[in-house]
Structures are given as C-alpha cells and as structure tokens.
Amino acid sequence: MKILITTDCYKYNLGGVTAVVLALCSGLRDLGHEVKTLSLSNCGKSFRDGEDYYIKSFPAPYYQGMRMSLAMHDPLIKELEEWKPDIIHVQSEGTTYQMALRIMKCCSIPIVMTCHTDYAYFVFRDLKYTRLVKAAMGLAGKHVYRRAAEVTVPSQKATGFPHLSSQTDRITVIPNGIELDRFRQRLSDNERHELRESLGIDDKTMALLIVSRLSKEKNIGEIISYLPNLLKKSPDTKLVIVGDGPDRKHLEKLTCSLQLENNVIFVGRVASDNVWRYYDAGDVFVSASVFEVHSISYLEAMANGLPMLCREDEALRGVLEQGENGLIYNSPDEFYDYACKLLNDDDLRTRMGSCSRKRAEDFSSDNFASKMFEIYEEAVGTCTPVRSGSLEYDYKLR
C-alpha cells in the first residue's frame, strides 16, 4: 500500500509526534509498504530528502517553535499527487492537514486522522470543564474531523477530550509505539561515567531524569519545587532536564530562586539519535505532567529500563503499573517518600527497571504499525471521499 503521512511536527520540530511518525514509518516499511511523509521545512524553502517532503514555512505566531505555511500549490505537493497514495494519515490539524485535503481531493482517497493533543486544556487550562468551552470545542472538533474516514487516539484518556465529543462512535484507541532498538542501546561503564561526570554527577550522586519539551503544560516546575525537601532526605540527588522550550527561562529562574543551581542540570536540546544516552545515564525517570495523552518519553524511559515516578494521570493506564515498573504519586509527601525509596534501594530500581523493559515490548513500532494498518485497510476498503458541497467532503461506502 502507498501511504502518505502528514504532520506539522517532524524532524525539524522534535517531540512526541515526531517520534510517533518515525516509529510508524519504520514499522510500516518493515511490513513492506511504501511510505512518504509531508511536513514543514525549517526555512523559507521547500525541499525533498529521500521519502520526506518539506514545504517552505514560517514561524507560527500562536506558539513558539511551531511553523505554518501558505504554500498550498507547492510543486512538491503536486509531485505527491502524481505519486497517487492509497491513503493519507493526518497526524496534526494545522497546515499540513490543509495540504492533505488537497491531495485527498485530487486522488479521491480517504484520510485517517490521529489526535495527539488535548486542545481544550492546552488553550483554556481548567476552564476546559466549563459548559461554554466544552460546547465550543465540540463544534470545532466536529468541523475538523468531519472529513476523516477513521479517527484514532493514542489512549483511552483522549476519548474524553471535548473537541472529540462528536466522534465518540468512531474513535479507535491505538497506543503509540517507538523504535525500541534505539532506546535499548547501552553505554559502557566508562561512557556512562564520562557522561555523568560531564553533567557534574559523581558516582555517589543519584540522577532523577526528565526528558521533555520545556513548556508550561508539562508542569516541570512542580518537580523542581519538590527538590528542597527531597534533598533534606536524600542530599546526593540531582535533577537532569533534557530538552528545550518556551518555559526554560522561567524554570531556570525558579531554580535560582530556590538556590538549586548545583542540583538542577539543564542539558538543553539533544539530537534524537543521542537521547538514549541520557536515559542510560539517569537512575529514575520522573514526570509531573497531567497533559500527556500517551507520552513518548514514558515509553522511551521504559525501553531503556528505568523505573518511573510520575504524578497520577489517566495517561499512565497501561503504561505504569503501581509497584511494578514504577510508582505513582498524588501529593508532595508521596513524591518525597517514593523518590527516597527508589533512590536508596538499588534492588528495587533494578527490579522495576526490568519490569519497565519488559512492558515496553507492547509498544514496539512493528506492533504499532500493524494495528494502524488495520485501520488503513478498513478505510481504503469501505469508503471513498465524495463532494457534498463546494468545500465539503463526506464518505460513501463502496
């Protein structure tokens, strides 16, 4: 099958969606399918890199690090139309979604859409639960997803998002996958020692690890604010934060205000091929986010064999089993107690790390691609897009 995957976030905008697309492409190609991607470039020029098509773009005004494009008639889009894919899988609802609709129209093929983000929480925070926001997001979602033959989400949590309220009868939950082999690599003892030493972590110090985009919704400040009390119980502890983003300056100021400069290490952005090294250099993976849908960093940490300490959230269902591959906290005191337990018990970390590695098997790129391909087969085999208005498309059964 010829499969086109479109996404606003790809190799020039590292994050969870990028990792998902990479894993999906890898898995589908392993299954023998022909896969191309359509995304946005990091500059004002369009170009092609193998099977990846990048359309010229400019910085989006609504969010730092995101990009958008007006080049709906770019020659590379025409090239993809001439390739005649059998199906399009839309991974983000921005610019490339509009490009996907053009290709859909030209080739008369169905599209499948995956929702990765709780937009109501992203925009409105706690106001997402108000009746007005729910109604508005419901209408917006109905408008955006009406063109999709199938809609998938990475977790059960996502089925309750307000903007998906009109799609509940046709949502399929397919958990994200990752390229496990990339995160099963191991540093030698000397390499691990050298990397930790470069970060200012000696052999007696334990490292809590965060791998994340540094943005407000990730709630990283909560972990930093917990450190002073944790250090009273476990003084030889440092927090390593891998990633960059719009909230970095705020987090650095918070670190300084709490006089934690010697205990919080901001690594910054790391090339995707090297992220595994930092997982392997850490001792315990931590997260305070309740924004996640099905976090890629959780899966990566598990694949690398790290025990996990995370704030309770529905996105952890099926990922973190309390007492097995990690611990879930609900309060500051629980965080302190659980962190101390993990940091001071080598056997417990080893046992939970082994459970993490085993649980990660369920999220391989091959398993992920196989489940997603079933959705493609159903969409291609049962429906085709037809014009129902000047700008509207519905699907009819074949």
Does 302 fall in a domain? Answer: yes
Does 44 fall in a domain? Answer: yes
Q: What is the pLDDT of residues 292-322, one digit of tens each?
A: 999 999 999 999 999 999 999 999 999 999 9
| DSSP 8-class letter at 243 | B
Residues 96, 194, single domain; the answer is no
User: Where residue 394 falls among pLDDT bands split at 50, 70, 90?
Assistant: low
User: Where residue 3 falls among pLDDT bands split at 50, 70, 90?
Assistant: very high
Bridge-based pairing state of the strands 47-49 and 52-55: antiparallel
Residues 215, 276, single domain; the answer is yes
Token pair in block for residue 204:
């007696």
Residues 229, 330, single domain; the answer is yes
Q: What is the pLDDT of residue 64?
A: 73
Does the structure show a pLDDT above 70 at 387?
A: no
Residues 369, 335, single domain; the answer is no
Q: What is the pLDDT of residue 62?
A: 74
Q: What is the pLDDT of residues 115-140, one digit of tens each?
A: 999 888 888 877 887 999 999 999 99
User: Where residue 391 falls among pLDDT bands split at 50, 70, 90?
Assistant: very low
Q: What is the pLDDT of residues 25-78, one digit of tens each?
A: 999 999 999 999 999 999 999 999 999 999 999 988 877 778 899 999 999 999
Domain that holds residue 332: 180-363
Q: What is the number of domains present in the chain?
A: 2
> Percent of the chain having pLDDT more than 90?
83
Residues contacting 181, CB < 8 A, separation 6+: none
Residues 220, 339, single domain; the answer is yes
Q: What is the pLDDT of residues 254-305, one digit of tens each?
A: 999 999 999 999 999 998 889 999 999 999 999 999 999 999 999 999 999 9
Q: What is the pLDDT of residue 397?
A: 47
Residue range 154-181: average pLDDT? Answer: 93
Does 149 fall in a domain? Answer: yes
Q: What is the mean pLDDT of the chain?
A: 93
CATH code of residue 191: 3.40.50.2000
Does 16 fall in a domain? Answer: yes
CA dist 279 to 187, 210, 314, Å?
Answer: 10, 9, 24
Residues 295, 381, single domain; the answer is no
Residues 168, 214, single domain; the answer is no
> Percent of the chain having pLDDT more than 70?
95
Residues 171, 212, single domain; the answer is no
Does 232 fall in a domain? Answer: yes
Does 143 fall in a domain? Answer: yes
3-state SS, residue 146: coil
Does the structure show a pLDDT above 70 at 383?
A: no
pTM of the entire predicted model: 0.88
Bridge-based pairing state of the strands 58-59 and 67-68: antiparallel
* 177 vs 20: CA distance, rounded Å: 6
* 142 vs 93: CA distance, rounded Å: 13
Residues 133, 212, single domain; the answer is no
Residues 85, 187, single domain; the answer is no
Token pair in block for residue 249:
């300056």
Token pair in block for residue 21:
């697309």
Token pair in block for residue 9:
């976030």
Residue range 194-209: average pLDDT? Answer: 96
Residues 267, 194, single domain; the answer is yes
* 332 vs 288: CA distance, rounded Å: 11
Residue range 8-35: average pLDDT? Answer: 89
Give the containing element (helix H, strand E) for 4: strand 2-6
Q: What is the pLDDT of residue 392?
A: 55
Q: What is the pLDDT of residue 398?
A: 47
Does 398 fall in a domain? Answer: no
Q: What is the pLDDT of residue 385?
A: 64
Residues 222, 350, single domain; the answer is yes
Q: What is the pLDDT of residues 313-359, one digit of tens each?
A: 999 999 999 999 999 999 999 999 999 999 999 999 999 999 999 99
